[in-house]
Amino acid sequence: MSLITGILEQLINGLRTGSIYALIAIGYTMVYGIAKMINFAHGDIIMVGAYSLYVFTAILELPAAAAVILTVAVCAALGIVVERIAYKPLRNAPSLAVLITAIGVSYFLQNTALLIFKATPIPFGSIINISGIRLGNINISGVTLVTFVATAVMMVGLTLFVNKTRAGSAMRAVSEDRGAASLMGINVNKTISMTFAIGSALAAVAGILYICQYQSLQPTLGALPGIKAFVAAVLGGIGNIPGAMLGGLLLGIIESLSRAYISTQLADAIVYGVLVIVLLVRPSGLLGKQKTEKV
């Protein structure tokens, strides 16, 4: 009985981290789908989100709801600004040039945070004050509940947005064929900006949930979830939104189970190992479409 409870608890832990990974991975995947670039600075948007939440609640003492909305707005705006300044001039450049620029942006955000907030970790109390619930023998904390609900709402909302609205179909059209989309009268620049804004807003939500869980702020806090989420996006098939969700959740569960039952130190190796195996069997991820190349 206790073994099953243990496994269930680990599954819930895994789903919690997995939800955060999924939220970040969606941002990676959307940006990749539309701009064909790996946005290495995406992880640092999480960090910016966490720090802005800290500034709004602990320093400016705003109510939690207002702080959350402002944080999301700050990150969405940052996403648009970064795209305009650093990525837009490189739209026709080789993809490696864009990749390096994204790495530069990532360093820039990290070091700006380092200058403003210094390297010492800042303790941060969670803004989520909901008591947990008990299901049989399993405790589910308030943060976990909020994470599940927030992620589910975001995913459903995003799926509806992408599939049902005009803006959403514009996004899909641009990611399929940018040139043809612009001939159909779609404003490509606006659509790309919107994608970056949505991706960054999701990263902000992920940052808020992450910081409520780990309760300590550091300029490099976005790097690790960022890279894990990137792996999740590739695992699910990069460019594919349901794939990113699936990849994120799977990655969280695998990580949590191997940390608990195999080895804490080898958990990362196992996560990457799964990625390698999946890619060797399905070279474009779990839900990615196979493309045949023509001469």
Partner 1 sequence: MNKTSAGKTPAKYGKIVLNILITLAVYAVMMVVIQGGMLSRQMTSIIIPCCINVMLAVSLCLLVGYLGELTLGHAGFMSIGAYAGALLTNYLDMPPVAELLIGMLAGGIIASVFAVVIGLPVLRLKGDYLAIVTLGFGEIIRSVINSLEFTGGAKGLSGIGTYATYKNFTFVYIFVILTILLIANLVHSRHGRAITAVRDNYIAAEAIGIHVGRFKTMAFVISAFFAGLAGVIYAHNVGILKPANFDYNKSIEILVMVVLGGMGNIKGSIIAAIILTLLPEVLRSAADYRMLLYSIVLIAMMLFNNSRFKLAIVEKRNLKKAAEIQKEGE
Q: CA-to-CA distance for 203 and 233, rounded, in angstroms?
A: 14
Q: Are β-strands 133-135 and 138-140 bridged in parallel, bridged antiparallel, or unpaired?
A: antiparallel
Stretch of 18-26, 148-156, 240-248, 280-288 lying at the interface with partner 1 (CB under 8 A)? 280-288
> Which CB sits closer to partner 1, 211 or 234?
234
227 near partner 1 (CB under 8 A): yes
184 near partner 1 (CB under 8 A): no
Q: Hey, which residues does 216 pair with through a beta bridge? A: 123
Q: What is the SS3 string spanning 99-153?
A: HHHHHHHHHHHHHHHHHHHCCCCEECCCCCCCCCEEECCEEECHHHHHHHHHHHH
Stretch of 18-26, 54-62, 104-112, 123-131 lying at the interface with partner 1 (CB under 8 A)? 104-112
The contact pattern for partner 1, residues 45-84, with x = CB under 8 A and - = no contact, is ----------------------------------------
Q: CA-to-CA distance for 177 and 229, rounded, in angstroms?
A: 26
Q: CA-to-CA distance for 155 and 101, rounded, in angstroms?
A: 29
What is the smallest separation between the CB atom of 288 and partner 1, expressed in angstroms? 9
290 near partner 1 (CB under 8 A): no
Q: Which of residues 235-264 bind partner 1 (CB under 8 A)?
A: 238, 263
Token pair belonging to 55: 């500034």
Contacts of 142 (CB under 8 A, 6+ apart): 128, 129, 130, 131, 132
Binding site for partner 1 (CB under 8 A): 32, 38, 86, 89-90, 92-97, 99-101, 103-108, 110-112, 114-115, 227, 230-231, 234, 238, 263, 265-269, 272-273, 275-276, 279-280, 283-285, 293, 295
